[in-house]
Amino acid sequence: MIDTHMHADSRSGEDFEQMYLAGIDTAITCSYYPYKIEHEMILLNHLNRILELDTQRAKEHGLNMKAALGIHPTNSNVKPDEIFENIYKWIENKQIIAIGEIGLEDLTDTEIDIFKRQLDIADETKSNVIIHTPRKNKKEVLKEILKILPQHLDEKQAVIDHVNPNVVQDAIDTDCMLGLTVQPQKMDKTEAISILDEYGFDKFLLNSDISNKPSDPLSVPKTVRELERLGYAKNDIEKVSHKNAEDFFKL
């Protein structure tokens, strides 16, 4: 199994061990700094910590941790140029598998500018992106994301994450992969399965998005086991369990 979106910097080694023992072989950790940042060097230190420390911590507990790094929209107040320079370096050195998570939160001009610039970097470097959609005003923000995205990047290089039953119809006809986040206060496994039941398994990725907020590090295996219990086809389950992620991220 692959958990396609989490935040390892805010989780314990015990969480990594539980995930591994529950059948998660690989997880993708993304950038998100939940506190007010006064200087871009704080964010750069955070990103380097993910890359150098958290991937190693996970490995010590058996979990193969891949990194996606970028400027999360809630961190858009920093001067971005030095971060962008490092993104180019990480991509060139094959240290990250995507730019992420990026996206929009409050639709500020600064957020939109940084989002567009990161999409342009992805286009230039032929990289994938993981795109955040917020808890609040999700439909409005997703509409703006889907307007901006194809102007800067091939949709086939993008994951639109945290899709839920309220917005899935808005994104299903794009060429993007869609991330289903099974997490307390976001979406439960029953809602995720209802989306898969209606729209099929080809376009979706499963993730826990475990972070500093209420989270369940085992939400991916719990959802996979529920699909098995309900009798869904093994081939379909394997798509959202790991195959779609393997193909998209070239794992």
Q: Give the DSSP letter string of 106-152.
A: S--HHHHHHHHHHHHHHHHHT--EEEE--STTHHHHHHHHHHHHHHH
Residues 133, 163: contact at Cβ < 8 Å? yes
Single-letter amino acid, residue 8: A
Residues 19, 217: contact at Cβ < 8 Å? yes
Single-letter amino acid, residue 130: I
Q: Per-residue confidence of the chain (251 residues) as pLDDT tens digits?
A: 999 999 999 999 999 999 999 999 999 999 998 777 888 999 999 999 999 999 999 999 999 999 999 999 999 999 999 999 999 999 999 999 999 999 999 999 999 999 999 999 999 999 999 999 998 999 999 999 999 999 999 999 999 999 999 999 999 999 999 999 999 888 999 999 999 999 999 999 999 999 988 899 999 999 999 999 999 999 999 999 999 999 999 99
Domain annotation for the chain: domains and CATH numbers: 2-249 (3.20.20.140)
> What pLDDT, on a 0 to 100 scale, did the predictor assign at position 188?
95
Distance in angstroms (rounded) separating the CA atoms of residues 120 and 91: 14
Number of Cβ atoms within 10 Å of the Cβ of 12: 12
Distance in angstroms (rounded) separating the CA atoms of residues 154 and 163: 19
- 125 torsion bin: left (phi>0), alpha (psi -120 to 50), beta (else): alpha
| pTM over the 0.85 mark | yes
| Residue at token pair 């869904």 | 232
Distance in angstroms (rounded) separating the CA atoms of residues 51 and 30: 10
Of 209, 206, 218, 216, which Cα lies nearest the Cα of 243? 206
Helix H or strand E encompassing 99: strand 99-103
Distance in angstroms (rounded) separating the CA atoms of residues 45 and 137: 30
